[in-house]
Structure 1
């Protein structure tokens, strides 16, 4: 899941990016409104976190342009403009949420999760995935194998979710890269292979053997 942060304050921007990355999200950053709008419209994101006071192009103009081009793309305003009028203006302009600075990172991440889950249409009926001996609870962020919980890193969780959603399909490294890692990540490295190997080891340790296979020259596949 990819998120774009448009924020001119580098300290805030890096703080938010680090917190979201540790939570398992891929994050791109823009330091001004003009660059941020270009990035928002030229790549695929699940959420934009937007400051209101930006150089080159005001945040409200960025919001209007994003919604005009991609109405379904969620935008969370993160701003020091904290009056009731400011918040109402932001929400009425089309933002999906409005969080005031200073803020608690835990609250920001909770709001991000809620927006993205809502965007994906997660309800109590479709927050659980299963394949063979594997079960995933997306809301609880929990994976079990033969009723034994797997302790997964954020990227490992995203990988197993992606594999289950695309079970029986051969998934290339590039598809995994595009779906899970930021475009700043170098696909020529072996990071994907390392994460898949760690995930396979944890599955096997929990008793889910012969599920995650390497297809030479093509990628990976989850199948019996």
Structure 2
């Protein structure tokens, strides 16, 4: 299984328009998103990967979303679940929360509210998890929940892809990572194409992290790869 670089979400939604909108919006926020259009596919995903959270629509074509949540809980899936549904009554919301859901958002919804609720859901889950939500290398700090990076207290203006790349380097600080490792784990390219995407992103990232007046942290080992050095 690929190393979990960033927050991984499972979106269970059968409406294609909502699927595309949410997957794109969540990916723009730095989340890795798998999409299942029915309960059966969702169970297969959940049995193969560990997700930081699930977003589950109740009106699935093959089963009720509540039944899916109950089955996943019985199978040992403990990831927090945000229910997304057009069912708006108090009884529906209470039932969803009592049957294994951790939050309930009704359709139509505002993207800003969904993102805020997701951050809070992940934050609450992190409070009971042993996985750190902040990474530190020298004077570099990464806030994994808010997807923010800073150096010496100054916020770095990183793109989502640059953040993921820097997170991978931080998690492997002091160790050499090759271009093949980065292509596979950051870009998901199992077959190594003839591309300079890694070099371009490292160049841009270095320009933001290793600014003038600060000790360079990102080192290039010619012909080998890169290393983020913790002084």
TM-score, normalised by the number of residues in structure 1: 0.82
Corresponding residue of 2:3? none
CA RMSD after TM alignment: 2.8
Find the partner of 2:101 among 92, 95, 100: 95
**How far, CA to CA, are the matches of 1:173 and 1:56 in structure 2?**
42
1:5 and 1:194 map into 2 onto residues whose CA distance is 31
Instruction: State the SS of the aligned residue for 1:120.
Output: helix
- Residue aligned with 1:195, SS: helix
Instruction: Give me the whole-angstrom Cα distance separating, in 2, the residues matched to 1:128 and 1:23.
Output: 17
Alignment of 1:35-74 (within 5 A): 35-74=41-80
Q: Does 1:186 align with 2:189?
A: yes
Tell me if the contact between 2:14 and 2:61 (Cα under 8 Å) persists in the aligned partners: yes
Whole-angstrom CA distance in 1 between matches of 2:184 and 2:128 = 22
Aligned to 2:8: 2
2:89 corresponds in structure 1 to: 83
Deviations 1:62-83 (A, max 9, x none): 1112112233212111000111
Hey, what's the Cα distance between the residues in 2 that align with 1:14 and 1:133? 38
Say if 1:79 and 1:173 are closer, same or farther in 2 by CA, change over 3 A: farther
CA distance in 1, matches of 2:33, 2:108: 21
Equivalenced residue count is 219
CA deviation string 1:18-39 (max 9, x = no partner) = 1101111111111111112211
CA contact (8 A) 2:142 2:150 kept: yes
Q: Does 1:26 align with 2:29?
A: no
Q: For the Cα contact (< 8 Å) 1:26–1:180, is it kept in 2?
A: no
Asked whether the 8 Å contact 2:8–2:52 carries over to 1, the reply is yes
- In 2, Cα distance between equivalents of 1:121 and 1:11: 34
- Given that residues 210 and 218 in structure 2 are in contact (C-alpha distance below 8 angstroms), is that contact kept between their aligned partners in structure 1? no
Change (3 A) 1:5 1:201: same
Partner Cα distance (1:220, 1:70) in 2: 38
TM-score (norm 2): 0.80
Alpha-carbon separation, structure 2, partners of 1:114 and 1:179: 27
Q: Unmatched 5+ residue regions in structure 1?
A: none
Q: Distance in 1 between matches of 2:77 and 2:39?
A: 18
Q: Name the stretch that deviates more: 188-197 or 71-80.
A: 188-197
Q: Using the TM superposition, give the Cα deviation of residue 177 of structure 1 relative to its aligned residue in structure 2, in angstroms.
A: 6.2
The one of 202, 211, 218 equivalent to 2:217 is 211
Q: Give the C-alpha shift of residue 53 in structure 1.
A: 0.9
